[in-house]
Structure 1
Amino acid sequence: MRLHTTRRAPNPRRVHMFLAEKGLEIETVEVALDGVANRSGELLARSPFGRVPVLEFDDGRCLGETRAICAWIEGHHPEPNLMGSDVDERAFIEMHDRRAEFHLLLPIANWIRHGHPGLAPLEQPQFPDFATAQAGKLREFAQVFDAELATRPWWAGDRFSIADITAFCAIEFVRGLMRWQPGEQGLPNLQAWRDRVAARPSAKAGM
């Protein structure tokens, strides 16, 4: 079994962090996201959109999409639990994880892909006005998350979960490439939560 991945990108980092929380190691294959290597026939045979992460099984099957990979890992290695211990907790963790994907990671990715010159090989054409609009959406959504984190220590409740991993990898992505810091945006609860996650050993995975 091998994990096709790339360092620093948020979705592969989510899987690396998930594995680290489980105390697991998987053989990795590094893919350069340069607009060339990730469009090669070799990767496209495993991932039709040329994207990572992809978990390749020994029988040749390939599992793409970050949350699907994490669900497979959780099913085979249920402890420590990161996706919910019963149907109620699973539903609420998934809700918060989806919100982190759609209202945090997605606008961040759009802002960076259309606004950072280093991402031009991956996003042609880039639309600077769209990037500016997505940066505004990020500020809008981040204010909602900051208010919610005033009422609980972790993204989905009283304990660390996959939702924290998704949100953290999103924040670190924009922090690294756009120098966007929650504390500097007047979001103290989001900053304090980010710092709590950053103190975990798993936070260094996938860097």
Structure 2
Amino acid sequence: MKLYISPRAPNPRRVQMFIAEKGIAGIAEVVVEIGKDEHRSSDFRAKSPLAKVPVLELDDGRMLGETRAICSYLEGLYPEPNLMGETFEERAFIEMTDRRMEFYLFGSIANCIRHTHPGLAPLEQPQFADFGRSQGEKVREVARWLDEELSRLPFVAGERFTIADITAFCAIEFARGLMKFRPGHEGLANLQNWRDRIAERASARV
């Protein structure tokens, strides 16, 4: 299999971290340089019609896009260590939390950065600065809620590390870089402590 990624892009990092947590070997990485518009080339669009990374090329030649779908596929192939839930009930609650991290934390961070950071202007035209700033406020609302959750839970979705922690961690790291968002600097000690614990995992260094 081949995994098409782009350096510093957060969604490919989510899959890379998932792979590392699983200890999966043998998936070749192919770099697609977003900054050079390689994701918009006809060759890459044949693999990813909407010009998005990551994409997993399967051994039979099919292309699987979308981060959550790729992780679900890999979870099926490599069920241990389990990251998405053992029972239907656990899977449902982990997915609920993962979706919250993806839609309300990650999504708002991405919108804030894409609409306020000058370096992202080539990728986001037109930029709407007011919208971007409002999304930054929503990031902090979600972060305050998550900080409260982490006052009683060791991990984002409960008592163990799951895919929801990967999504939240990659989101926070993306915000650290381009939003200069540091939970500890904003009084969110639980979120900062959780971030620091996850950063110590080997998978966080991929």
Normalised to the residue count of structure 1, the TM-score between the two structures is 0.97
What one-letter code is carried by the residue in structure 2 that aligns with 1:174? A
Match of 2:165 in 1: 164
Match of 1:198 in 2: 199
CA distance in 2, matches of 1:191, 1:56: 36
CA distance in 2, matches of 1:145, 1:98: 13
CA distance in 1, matches of 2:77, 2:59: 16
CA distance in 1, matches of 2:166, 2:75: 14
CA distance in 1, matches of 2:2, 2:66: 15
Superposition deviation, residue 157 in structure 1? 0.3
Match of 2:74 in 1: 73
CA distance in 1, matches of 2:37, 2:8: 18
Match of 1:58 in 2: 59
What one-letter code is carried by the residue in structure 1 that aligns with 2:163? I
SS in 2 for 1:55: strand
CA distance in 1, matches of 2:37, 2:51: 10
TM alignment of 1:20-31, pairs within 5 A: 20-25=20-25, 26-31=27-32
For residues 134-182 of structure 1, what are the alpha-carbon distances to aligned partners after superposition, in whole Å with 9 as ceiling and x for unaligned? 0011111111111111110000000000000000000000101121100
What one-letter code is carried by the residue in structure 2 that aligns with 1:34? G
Superposition deviation, residue 65 in structure 1? 0.3
Match of 1:103 in 2: 104
What one-letter code is carried by the residue in structure 1 that aligns with 2:179? M
4+ runs of 1 displaced by more than 6 Å? none
Query: What are structure 2's unaligned runs of at least 5 residues?
Result: none
SS in 1 for 2:3: strand
1:45 and 2:46 are equivalent in the alignment: yes
Query: What are structure 1's unaligned runs of at least 5 residues?
Result: none
CA distance in 2, matches of 1:160, 1:58: 29
* Higher mean displacement: 156-165 or 54-63: 54-63
CA distance in 2, matches of 1:24, 1:116: 35
For residues 93-142 of structure 1, what are the alpha-carbon distances to aligned partners after superposition, in whole Å with 9 as ceiling and x for unaligned? 00100000011000000001111111111101111111110001111111
Cα-Cα RMSD: 0.9
CA distance in 1, matches of 2:59, 2:18: 21
CA distance in 1, matches of 2:193, 2:104: 19
CA distance in 1, matches of 2:20, 2:105: 23
What one-letter code is carried by the residue in structure 2 that aligns with 1:75? G
What one-letter code is carried by the residue in structure 2 that aligns with 1:130? F
1:32 and 2:39 are equivalent in the alignment: no
Superposition deviation, residue 11 in structure 1? 0.6
Match of 2:16 in 1: 16
CA distance in 2, matches of 1:61, 1:11: 20
* Higher mean displacement: 35-44 or 77-86: 35-44
Superposition deviation, residue 35 in structure 1? 6.3
Superposition deviation, residue 194 in structure 1? 0.5
Superposition deviation, residue 58 in structure 1? 2.6
Specify which structure has the bigger relative contact order, considering alpha-carbon pairs within 8 angstroms and separated by 6 or more residues.
1
CA distance in 1, matches of 2:67, 2:39: 17
Match of 2:127 in 1: 126
Match of 1:4 in 2: 4
What one-letter code is carried by the residue in structure 2 that aligns with 1:62? M
CA distance in 2, matches of 1:202, 1:133: 32
